[in-house]
Amino acid sequence: MVATPLGNLQDISIRAQAVLSEVGAIAAEDTRHSQRLLDALGIRTRLFPLHEHNEQTAVGQVIRMLETGQHVALISDAGTPAISDPGARAVARVREAGFPVVPVPGPCAAIAALSASGFVDDGFRFVGFLPAKQAARRARIGELRGQEVPLVFYESPHRIAESVEDLAAVLEPSRDIVIAREITKIYEQIARMPLGEAPAWLAADANRCRGEFVLIVSGAPAVEGLPPDAERTLALLLEELPVKSAARLAADITGAARKLLYARALELKGS
């Protein structure tokens, strides 16, 4: 599993270059895209496709090569493979077949954006791409509303405006959002602002909707007390479950903050 540059070719590691040069073949998400990378690096290793539409078939080819003693590298179009890119199913199949899977770490858009975001929370929730249709997208955002850590999304240029509008509509507009686009490329831009201002910021300049995006939204703000439905759900769960499990499940069901639910559960049990 070899991480490749997001855009700037100088981000390729010495180890990644060596591995791509020495393996018997490279499984690539888009062979035409990856061939340009290999040409720039002077690497002549054979490429074959492994993408979301042929992953189950292509991994059979990978396993057959491994059975003959060859080594195979897997790369995506950019960044770390199997992170919102094809590869995870292939990894599972290779492991089931009894072969080791070795990561060759390197660029990852989510981690790069987080490092420049300025969020100081302990942890984050990586979500990846939201659903394409608005109803499903808003429902998914609603499910994440109670998360107390920053939420990390990937988005494409043709849906960035709609996704940001839905985030602002479903989540509290006072939250902060970091919009990071074209990371490591010529037109890299990383901006932080209140979520409620983000749709207008994107609309003010058409160039701001171009490129590949990472969005980071701050976690749920602290609130006083619990919504009535969360209180009722927690009370019912406490009749059957321990405090920690009841609080966790109530948070998943209602979207309320888990810390508040846990504190309230302790109060209810103590009384």
Question: Does the pLDDT value for residue 132 go beyond 80?
Answer: yes
Kindly tell me if the per-residue pLDDT of 158 is higher than 90: yes
Q: Give CA–CA dist 165/159, Å, rounded.
A: 10
Among residues of the chain, what percentage have pLDDT more than 90? Answer: 85
**pLDDT band per the 50, 70, 90 thresholds, residue 211:** very high
User: What's the pLDDT at 271?
Assistant: 56
Taking the model in full, what pTM does it have?
Answer: 0.82
pLDDT digits (tens, 9 = 90+) for 172-182: 999 999 999 99
Q: Convert the pLDDT of each residue in 97-115 to its tens digit.
A: 999 999 999 999 999 999 9
In terms of DSSP H, where are the helices of the chain? Answer: 14-22, 31-41, 55-67, 88-96, 109-115, 134-143, 160-170, 198-203, 228-238, 243-254, 258-270
Q: In this structure, are residues 101 and 1 in contact, taking their beta carbons and an 8 Å threshold?
A: yes
Residue 223 pLDDT > 70, yes or no?
Answer: no
- Looking at residues 50-55, what average pLDDT do you find? 96
Pair 248, 230: CB distance under 8 Å: no
Mean pLDDT over all residues of the chain? 95
Measured from the Cβ of residue 205, the count of other Cβ atoms closer than 10 Å reads 10
Closest CA to 171 of 202, 133, 135, 140: 140
Closest CA to 155 of 188, 123, 125, 110: 110
